[in-house]
Structure 1
């Protein structure tokens, strides 16, 4: 399959890691569906950046992956190509709550976080399965699903108990679906640690975000901050034929954070 024939969907692609993945796929002349939930202006900027980077075609689609009808709408926007080769399930949410504050998370918080981080990934894969099968048949090699999880799903040390639990469930689901969808579809997961994006500054303010950066660099063995572009390189490797013999893997990329947890 020529690189300019790659057809891909990236969820949660308005900014951060999703946008970085979309831009990197664009450099490979992919046709890309860029999904966003609420950040329309940022998603439009990402779409333009992908066109400038060389994308063969860019389609912008609003949709909440926790809703089955929206997932089907997102996938339907790729049906014009008659195939899918890559699905990057990047959309995710959290709520910052200290682990010892058990009253800080309601049942509704759990349900909302799971509905996006875990169930939404399942709904997207289910909706995309037939187009991914077609992509595999046309290319002669498995299509690729890459889920974006977190080291929190392995260590249990994340922004909240609900977030860590949702990512742990996603990691387990990756194994189940890798078995189910083989041999025509590969399913792998990326588990990043801290990613240095503008999200933290928006949430915490610039001063606290800078303190967090310094804390991360001081703690991790490699003394490196991971950017969205750094993580996108791994995502796109798992999406590419270069990883064609990998499925059911949960790959940590955290500058060695797991070595000290």
Structure 2
């Protein structure tokens, strides 16, 4: 990864932060994007300060606002002059019982798709020229087993993750051969991503998972890193990293 430039969209989150560290340890220069909010700014700064090596940066962008992604691309070009890897780690969810159809209102559905699907596509669309110019570009998006088993924090969340998988296939065709497009699909991960899920939920889930534990952010970051360093002939594929939970 020496001299490679990696953009982690949503790099202040657990999976994004660990991924940034793993790439930096191999010599990459890291750009972490985050929304213009005090807590996210502080979190992103903490991540960058912890990275080995130098030449890293925190930059502002909101995947739900394409104009900010365009500005981010210009800043990436100015600071780094290139982009080799895009990691789509931005996203959010809100638990809604699947049987409570009224609770999944239009505003939440629209927001789920704007951030978790349209935002990922917009990031890839924005940075495709730079990734193509590298000659060996890579996109890794965060999917979920919810996209295939229909079990997740809400029906809308399942739908957007299924959309990520389809988008991965479609873009892998059109961006080849200069850019590979992959996704990593976790099951339950030991992070604070899903509001309201705590130790009790994690412990119960671990007992019903074949490997008898839930994933760590490090597990998912390892899979993302493998996409860049070990799986050079793979594209259009979603790799499931769930300890066998989807079996």
| TM-score of Structure 1 vs Structure 2, range by shorter chain | over 0.9
SS at match of 2:7: strand
SS at match of 1:5: coil
Measured in 2, the distance between the counterparts of 1:113 and 1:239 equals: 28
Structure 1: state its 5+ residue gaps. Answer: 137-141
Q: Give the C-alpha shift of residue 28 in structure 1.
A: 1.1
Mapping of 1:94-243 within 5 angstroms?
94-136=93-135, 142-199=136-193, 203-204=195-196, 209-240=198-229, 242-243=230-231
String of CA shifts for 1:165-224, please: whole Å, max 9, x gaps. Answer: 011111101100000000000000000011102445xx32xxx61101211110100102
Aligned to 1:254: 242
2:66 touches 2:122 (CA, 8 Å); kept in 1? yes
Structure 1 length as normaliser, TM-score? 0.90
Mapping of 1:19-38 within 5 angstroms?
19-37=17-35, 38=37
String of CA shifts for 1:96-119, please: whole Å, max 9, x gaps. Answer: 100000001111111111111111
2:88 touches 2:141 (CA, 8 Å); kept in 1? yes
Measured in 2, the distance between the counterparts of 1:77 and 1:117 equals: 23
String of CA shifts for 1:127-184, please: whole Å, max 9, x gaps. Answer: 1111111111xxxxx2110011111111110000111101111110110000000000
Aligned to 2:46: 45
Structure 1 window deviating more from structure 2 (142-151 vs 66-75): it is 66-75
Measured in 1, the distance between the counterparts of 2:16 and 2:206 equals: 23
Higher normalized helix content (fraction of residues): 1
Measured in 2, the distance between the counterparts of 1:184 and 1:209 equals: 42
Stretches (4+) displaced over 6 A: none
* Aligned partner of 2:9 among 8, 11, 14: 11
Q: How many residues align?
A: 243
1:145 touches 1:239 (CA, 8 Å); kept in 2? no
1:13 touches 1:35 (CA, 8 Å); kept in 2? yes
Measured in 1, the distance between the counterparts of 2:185 and 2:74 equals: 28
* Pair 247,214 (structure 1): closer, same or farther in 2 beyond 3 Å: same
Structure 2 length as normaliser, TM-score? 0.95
1:33 touches 1:77 (CA, 8 Å); kept in 2? no
Q: Give the C-alpha shift of residue 230 in structure 1.
A: 1.1
Measured in 2, the distance between the counterparts of 1:76 and 1:143 equals: 18
Structure 2: state its 5+ residue gaps. Answer: none
Measured in 2, the distance between the counterparts of 1:75 and 1:156 equals: 35
Q: Give the C-alpha shift of residue 83 in structure 1.
A: 1.5
Aligned to 1:139: none
Measured in 2, the distance between the counterparts of 1:70 and 1:100 equals: 37
